[in-house]
Structure 1
Amino acid sequence: MIFKKIIAAFLVLLSVSAFAQENLIVNTHNRKQVSLNGTWHYIIDPYETGFYDYRYKEKGEKDPEAYWNNPEPHGKTDRKEHGYSDDYTIQVPGDWNSQDDVFKYYEGTVWYQRTFDKPKLDKNERVFLYFGAVNYEAHVYLNGKKLGMHKGGFTPFNFEISQEMLEDEGNFLVVKVDNKRYADEVPTLNTDWWNYGGITRDVKLVITPQNFIQQYAIHLEQSQDIEKSIKRKKFNISGYFKLNGPNTSSEEKITIEIPEIGLKEKVESNASEGSFNFDAKKLELWSPENPKLYEVKFTLGENILTDKIGFRKIEVAGKEVLLNGKKIFMRGISIHEEIAPEARRAKNSADADKLLGWARDLNVNMVRLAHYPHNEYMTRAADSLGILVWSEIPVYWTIDFKNEGVLKKAKKQLDEMIIRDQNRASVIIWSVGNETPVSEARTRFMKSLVMHAKEKDNTRLISAALEVGYNRGKNYIDDPLGEYTDIVSVNEYLGWYGDLPHAKVKSKWETAYNKPLFFSETGAGAKGGFHADKETRWSEEFQEWYFEETLKMMENMPENFMGLSPWILVDFRSPKRNNPKFQEGWNRKGLIDNQGNKKKAFFVLKKYYDEKEKEDQE
């Protein structure tokens, strides 16, 4: 028995080590780079013929019929049973489902291929191949050599290719992309959103000096009394940095500057990393009303890396959430990373502007980015616009909570989300999951994620979207996970999944925890343009009635109620939604329909948010 346990533990470690990659480089937006976006070739490979031989064993690296090797024949007698052709091309970034009908429902392997020339480099410069995200499993090959693999459809990864590039001819880049669903993955088999496959975010070559700043965080020191700091106009800033390079030493120093306030500090490293803590005067704090961003410069040798960073403090005090020492009410909305009028995954800054523009039309001060980390364009735009962000990993519904390997995968995605966006002032909540059914195994699993997030980042709140049982007259929230999260967040659908909207008015809410209460979801479906009386389901009038009754219920919420993010901004595609008249493969809970038209309920919620904003300003 002991031997079996040792073997099982070894297999878990082995499975996790298979996901090893170069340590993640942050802030690629402001580094020297070459885009590899654009037209790629593809091969659809549902039987994974290019990966496995006919005995279903992974092909050898030099196997000429492995799809990562160049299939160009050397003579007329050469037998080649695969090839990349200009007749089969696909755009990167982008999901494959929306680019050709043959892909619409496809789940499986697609091989992506393109060539690129080695960029012109200065002496001692290094090159990394960076992917913003690939859904879900990616195996990456360059010139026939495997660089590595990555699992997780919504977080970035990179590999160093400095020594792998060819000097005088095109470099042959191949990515095996597989979006099949599995019970032991994150997310798991069952989700209520479209499983968009492909290289869905930017691909680029990131060019760095020999020694460079790979990661960093800079923020207000959380232990300071923020009200005293504001009064004295003197703040404490802290953070860390991590260096990458063969020649880093304990004598390495970096300079941190915020030119606008005259701050310039030199910080020593301990070999490849370091931390800092210093005072800053005349600092304007970031908030939705004043989304102040400062140019911050990090200098290592002759290399300067810049970023736009806001400084703020988010915390819980009893039953309230405080931003820079002031109580806030979060006027939120949930968003999927999808451009509904084009039925595709959002992929660039224009898409982020469109989604957040619709959210601003609603007069929100907060968005819940569901149910996975969204593109970095979203969080950077939110920084500039002054929109608070809830960012989440796809621990969704029926994850295998007893599986240690699944927990390690979830923690890895959590790490990659935090590392990428830890310098975005807009992100105030890390969420570790959505609607996970209560059990001892689940609570241990989720508690582990909460504690892991707190260990990685103490500058944000940690939460998860919980479910609630509906009882006539009283809804008592006592999910054991609420003991560990900073705020108690629940998804509430009384009036849609149980009774009718009029039941909301008499509904009473209580929690077992002396913590802020947040409605992470609430909503009802409506087919845009379908009108009837308010009791007719799927009509805009029913959805309007639902929100009217929901907002009446808000008037009698307990004093710890501090906001909501209704479900959802825009209709989104889901293969679970199969009413042939009203859904047609779309989740219709959007306040905006899939053609971009605002439904009647949109204006009900906007009026409420306008009124809440006035109250907060008084």
Structure 2
Amino acid sequence: NESSVPTQKTDWWPWGGIVGDVYIVETPKQFIQNAYLQLNPDNFSEALFKLKMNHPSSGHNIKLEIPELKFTAKYQTNSFGIIEENIKINPQLWSPESPKLYEVIISSNAETISDVIGFRSIQTQGQKIFLNNHEIRFKGIAMHSEPIGIPGPAFSTEHFKQLLATAKDLNVNFIRAAHYPYTRHLAKVADQMGLMLWEEVPVYWNIDWDNPETLKIAKNQISRLVQRDQNRSSVVVWSVANETPLSSSRMKFLQSLLSEIEINDSSRLTTAALLSGSEEQFRSLALVLALQGAKSNWVEPQEKAIFSAILDQANIKIEDELSFSLSIDDPLGESIDLISYNEYFGWYYVTFFTDQMMISEGTLRRLMFEVMPTIKITSSFDKPIHISEFGAGAKYGNRTNKIWSEEYQAKLYQHQLEMLSNNSQIQGISPWVLKDFRA
């Protein structure tokens, strides 16, 4: 309903039923509820080990082993049933080029659990992103959790192996897993294949920002996602929202989710896929298009006259030079590490202007392609920008060179990449979308 997360209004199909693993697990009365082991970003020969028992009680004997590193240590829980220790190790670091993983074994007097974990750091400095202290760009793709060639949701290891192998064929190093938590197998496969991951919760479009129950649901979702995947080296970004309209209630809501992440895991980047651009900014884009149209030799006289009238009304001369710059100024940018922005120059934005300017869609699309290389995207924050969505739709086999054709789609991506490469603050992309999905 309208108070749920997500609401009933989404642009994807919310597959029903049980889509993840189901286990019946037998445990001792006192068992290990969760354990965390991740690299110290300031000291690569050190890692933070945290463990929590299901009940607060002291004196539980815990042994931590990393056999390949010949590491063994013994600890006891404090009165809260918790261990927090810095351990000395010297691991080979996980990266897309070398996705090294280590077996980690944790045992108590009553049980033994194990996992396979990679060690890496992810940080930002100014407008740059650093993996293991080396500058990196997120060369990515966005996707939905739907398998290739099979109806329904993706949920198994094999499903995600096929999806991520298809992504790797595009030479990506990064996946935006939109717009909701996938099953645990995605991050495990990404660990093995060396793909960095953005994971998010479905705080999507406009939700019931003032409802405490809605906030409780969203906090539960982000907390469970973080606790489940906190040891996955592939996960480098937690996202709390997608395309949410500005309001004070929305700001308070999303700040609460960011605080929830900070409580559980501060070792990764935080973000939200933002919208930006005021009416005034897009009016200036309309003027840039009008000037380009008035100067172009191929524009029909009737449409050229419309462009000239628009310029006259704005006191702009044909010999003037105009450019368009969009500044991302969403106040949430103060609180997140990565300024992520969904933009659709050459696709949705063109239809905004068609009726307003009384110009054919075909003319405006061609003009948009001509001006896109000059468009500047910046932000009000000294942080890296990630273009979290861009692209165009196409029907397979439609080879007409018009909208919805494969040719138009390819041209749009070419012009987008030319535009984005001219913007130095942009440090990552995840175009929309890897494959068709049910909406």
Task: Tell me if TM exceeds 0.5.
Answer: yes
- The AA in structure 1 aligned to 2:407 is E
Higher helix share: 2
Does 2:167 correspond to 1:348?
no
Match of 1:553 in 2: 419
Does 2:121 correspond to 1:313?
yes
Q: For 1:424-456, what per-residue CA distance to the aligned partner results, in whole angstroms no more than 9, with x for missing partners? A: 011011100100011121112112212221222
Query: What is the rounded CA distance, in whole Å, between the counterparts of 1:396 and 1:262 in structure 2?
Result: 46
Q: Does the 8 A contact of 1:267 with 1:274 survive in 2?
A: no
Structure 2 counterpart SS, 1:204: coil
Q: Does the 8 A contact of 2:28 with 2:110 survive in 1?
A: no
Match of 2:221 among 385, 389, 413: 413
Q: Which runs of 4+ in 1 moved over 4 A?
A: none
Alignment of 1:217-228 (within 5 A): 217-222=36-41, 224=42, 226=43
Q: For 1:41-66, what per-residue CA distance to the aligned partner results, in whole angstroms no more than 9, with x for missing partners? A: xxxxxxxxxxxxxxxxxxxxxxxxxx
Match of 1:490 in 2: 341
Query: What is the rounded CA distance, in whole Å, between the counterparts of 1:339 and 1:292 in structure 2?
Result: 26
Query: What is the rounded CA distance, in whole Å, between the counterparts of 1:295 and 1:448 in structure 2?
Result: 35
CA shift, 1:343, in A, is 2.3
Query: What is the rounded CA distance, in whole Å, between the counterparts of 2:257 and 2:112 in structure 1?
Result: 35
CA shift, 1:211, in A, is 2.7
Query: What is the rounded CA distance, in whole Å, between the counterparts of 1:511 and 1:347 in structure 2?
Result: 37
Structure 2 counterpart SS, 1:352: helix
Alignment of 1:6-405 (within 5 A): 182-222=1-41, 224=42, 226=43, 229=44, 235-244=45-54, 249-271=57-79, 273-339=81-147, 341-405=149-213
Match of 2:247 in 1: 439
Query: What is the rounded CA distance, in whole Å, between the counterparts of 1:345 and 1:437 in structure 2?
Result: 28
Query: What is the rounded CA distance, in whole Å, between the counterparts of 1:524 and 1:452 in structure 2?
Result: 35
Query: What is the rounded CA distance, in whole Å, between the counterparts of 2:110 and 2:21 in structure 1?
Result: 28
Query: What is the rounded CA distance, in whole Å, between the counterparts of 2:133 and 2:119 in structure 1?
Result: 13
With CA pairs under 8 Å and 6+ residues apart, which has the higher RCO, 1 or 2? Answer: 2
Query: What is the rounded CA distance, in whole Å, between the counterparts of 1:514 and 1:349 in structure 2?
Result: 39
Q: Does the 8 A contact of 2:345 with 2:372 survive in 1?
A: yes
CA shift, 1:210, in A, is 3.5
| Count of residue pairs brought into register by the alignment | 379
- The AA in structure 1 aligned to 2:52 is K
Query: What is the rounded CA distance, in whole Å, between the counterparts of 1:409 and 1:240 in structure 2?
Result: 26
Unaligned stretches of 5+ in structure 2? Answer: 286-323, 351-364
- The AA in structure 2 aligned to 1:568 is V
> Percent identity at matched positions?
41
Q: Does the 8 A contact of 1:252 with 1:271 survive in 2?
A: no
Query: What is the rounded CA distance, in whole Å, between the counterparts of 2:92 and 2:327 in structure 1?
Result: 41
Match of 1:530 in 2: 398
- The AA in structure 2 aligned to 1:475 is L
Structure 2 counterpart SS, 1:295: strand
Does 2:421 correspond to 1:570?
no
CA shift, 1:205, in A, is 1.2
Query: What is the rounded CA distance, in whole Å, between the counterparts of 2:390 and 2:34 in structure 1?
Result: 37
Match of 1:512 in 2: 380
Unaligned stretches of 5+ in structure 1? Answer: 1-181, 230-234, 575-618
Query: What is the rounded CA distance, in whole Å, between the counterparts of 1:271 and 1:441 in structure 2?
Result: 39
Query: What is the rounded CA distance, in whole Å, between the counterparts of 1:302 and 1:438 in structure 2?
Result: 51
Structure 2 counterpart SS, 1:447: helix
CA shift, 1:302, in A, is 4.9
Q: Does the 8 A contact of 2:148 with 2:162 survive in 1?
A: no
- The AA in structure 2 aligned to 1:529 is G
CA shift, 1:384, in A, is 0.7
- The AA in structure 1 aligned to 2:414 is E
TM score, norm. by length of structure 2: 0.84
| CA root-mean-square deviation | 1.5
Q: Does the 8 A contact of 1:468 with 1:477 survive in 2?
A: yes
Match of 1:457 among 265, 290, 295: 265
**Structure 1 residues 242, 281: closer, same or farther in 2, change over 3 A?**
closer
